[in-house]
Amino acid sequence: MLLEGKTGIVFGVANKRSLAWAIARRAAEEGARIALTYQGERLEENARELAATLKDPLVLPCDVTRDEDIATVFSTVKSEFGSLDFVVHGIAYALREELEGEFLNTSREGYRVAQDVSVYSLTAIAREAAPLMEGRGGSILTLTYLGGERVIPGYNVMGIAKAALDMSMRYLAENLGARGIRVNAISAGPVKTLASAGIGGFSKILEHMRNHAPLRRNIDQSEVADAALFLLSNMSRGVTGEILHVDCGYNIMGM
């Protein structure tokens, strides 16, 4: 039980296919008590149904574009849990029209929204989480994608967001390291979820990876969850500011 007696908060559970849900479930199996957040009433039922399968969960609304929502989440977690050992940031959003056609046509508003929801939220969350994690060897984990390191046609403005997310993760790792808090990312290979369904040509991305990754297959959510368990637990106590690729090795390929 790698997370026995630990508490964590997981942002980004939309449904049972969400990477954040796979991580939440895996962490709970290893003994952690989990708080889940959902974005709006639309997803509350889903989040509550999933959370009901966990032991003693906390389920809270949070739209990460609202500072007051983030503050309420952490004050509730403080009063219910007392302290916090880990945070999972599994949130991304871009306007649908930005994920098709050319990056060249990115609108100012599309750029702003992608950065606000998918990138700034990590910093806003880390700032609120840090006081609850101090002295506990806390771990913060975000989910990124290769489209922030290399050009993946169609990923467009979200690629720019992931590049900024990767650097935010590293700056936060430096800032919070002195307080014993680690910040890392998993770069997941493509997986069919609600968010990825909005990416133009996503089935082509899946097929390309299946044919060209060293392991010649796609990944699934459970592989991300197992890697997350490593990064959330004491097993990775010497690791911070790192991007761990869970992508069947695809990122090493030149062609």
Q: Where along the sequence are the contacts to ligand NAP (CB under 6 A)? A: 12-14, 18-20, 39, 43, 62-65, 90-93, 117, 143-145, 188, 190-191, 193-196
Using the minimum distance from each CB to ligand NAP, give the nearer residue, 194 or 235. 194
Contacts of residue 127, defined as CB under 8 A and 6 or more positions apart, other chains included, come to none
At 178, list the tokens: 């002195």
Phi, psi (degrees; rounded to nearest 5) at 2: -75, -20
At 195, list the tokens: 């968010």
Shortest reach from residue 194's CB to ligand NAP, in Å: 3
> Is 171 one of the annotated active-site residues of the chain?
no
Chain centre to alpha carbon of residue 161: 13
**What's the chain's Rg over C-alpha atoms?**
17
> Is 145 one of the annotated active-site residues of the chain?
yes
Using the minimum distance from each CB to ligand NAP, give the nearer residue, 150 or 237. 150
Shortest reach from residue 14's CB to ligand NAP, in Å: 3
Using the minimum distance from each CB to ligand NAP, give the nearer residue, 31 or 226. 226
Using the minimum distance from each CB to ligand NAP, give the nearer residue, 125 or 130. 125
Shortest reach from residue 135's CB to ligand NAP, in Å: 28
Cα distances from 206 to residues 86, 247, 248, in angstroms, run: 30, 11, 12
Using the minimum distance from each CB to ligand NAP, give the nearer residue, 95 or 180. 95
Identify the active-site residue in 38, 93, 155, 250: 155
Alpha-helix runs per DSSP H in the chain: 19-29, 41-51, 67-81, 108-115, 121-133, 156-177, 202-212, 221-232
Shortest reach from residue 22's CB to ligand NAP, in Å: 8
Identify the active-site residue in 93, 145, 171, 250: 145
Contacts of residue 140, defined as CB under 8 A and 6 or more positions apart, other chains included, come to 86, 87, 89, 122, 125, 126, 129, 133, 172, 176, 181, 182, 183, 184
Shortest reach from residue 39's CB to ligand NAP, in Å: 4
- Mind telling me the catalytic residues? 145, 155
